């Protein structure tokens, strides 16, 4: 899930943002 210029921010926002946006299944899918 690295589509932005900031892989670090994307990972943080992806794990936390996705979890709050989608829920738990997203976090598990990410790892």
Question: pLDDT by residue (tens digit) across 1-31?
Answer: 556 565 565 556 556 555 565 555 555 555 4
14-22: long-range pairs with CB below 8 Å, 24+: none
Do 18 and 30 meet the contact criterion of CB atoms below 8 Å apart? yes
Report pLDDT for 31: 46
- In this prediction the pTM is 0.15
Could you give the CA distance from residue 4 to residue 24 in angstroms, rounded to a whole number? 22
């Amino acid at each position: 899930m690295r589509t932005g210029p900031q892989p670090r921010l994307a990972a943080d926002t992806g794990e936390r943002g996705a979890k709050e946006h989608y829920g738990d299944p997203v976090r598990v899918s990410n790892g």
